[in-house]
């Protein structure tokens, strides 16, 4: 008998493992995957590395770019990326914290042009270790707040 967590293996695509529970749906949202292709989402598996449990996201028939998977580091820096081709893992990718964020993060300053005038949001890293980012419009420095992350524009 296959173990339950192996219930649906994919032949081609991207598997994102070690997402802290319950952030898998947030990852789907910030990658803009909600209405594209076949997704399998597993929530709340036991994990030695993540005491609160882990989620697994399988994206069928799509190889995510490094620039896409690096966005995941904003909420799940421990996530691991496996690229699957013809049923085999052909690449294990380590994600790194992005130096710039385009479009997926809302500025916490309500008076910012990105909130008031609908300007395209753009942040540059302020401190990589602290994971703080500076808004290119109003210069407000912010940490990553998952609620402020949205689908790409
Ligand atoms: Zn701003």
pTM of the model: 0.84
Rounded Cα–Cα distance for residues 82 and 80 (Å): 7
Q: How far is the CA of 114 from the centre of ligand 1 (A)?
A: 6
Residue 100 has which token pair? 């710039």
**Residue 35 clears pLDDT 90, i.e. is over it:** no
Give the C-alpha distances (Å, rounded to integers) separating 109 from 106, 116, 141, 145, 152: 9, 10, 9, 13, 19
The mean predicted confidence, pLDDT, of the chain is 90
Q: Read off the pLDDT of each residue in 18-32 and give the average, rounded to a whole number.
A: 93
Residues with CB under 5 A from ligand 1 (ion): 107, 109, 112, 135, 137-138, 140
Torsion of CA 72, 19, 92, 34, to 10 degrees: -60
Q: Which domains does the chain have, with CATH numbers?
A: 4-94 (3.30.70.140), 100-148 (2.30.30.20)
Q: How far is the CA of 110 from the centre of ligand 1 (A)?
A: 8
Q: How far is the CA of 145 from the centre of ligand 1 (A)?
A: 14
The model's pLDDT over 79-134, given as tens digits with 9 standing for 90+, comes to: 999 999 999 999 999 899 999 999 999 999 999 999 999 999 999 999 999 999 99
């Amino acid at each position: 008998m296959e173990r339950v967590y192996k219930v649906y293996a994919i032949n081609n695509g991207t598997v994102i493992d070690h997402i802290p529970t319950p952030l898998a749906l947030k990852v789907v949202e910030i990658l803009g995957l909600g209405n594209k292709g076949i997704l399998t989402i597993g929530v709340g598996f036991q994990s030695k590395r993540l005491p609160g449990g882990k989620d697994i996201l399988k994206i069928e028939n799509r190889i995510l770019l490094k620039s896409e998977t690096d966005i995941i580091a904003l909420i799940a820096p421990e996530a691991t990326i496996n690229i699957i081709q013809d049923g085999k893992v052909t690449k294990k990718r380590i994600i790194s914290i992005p130096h710039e964020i385009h479009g997926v993060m809302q500025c916490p300053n309500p008076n910012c042009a990105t909130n008031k005038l609908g300007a395209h949001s753009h942040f540059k890293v302020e401190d990589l270790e602290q994971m703080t980012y500076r808004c290119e419009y109003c210069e407000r420095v912010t940490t990553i707040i998952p609620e402020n992350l949205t689908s790409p524009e």
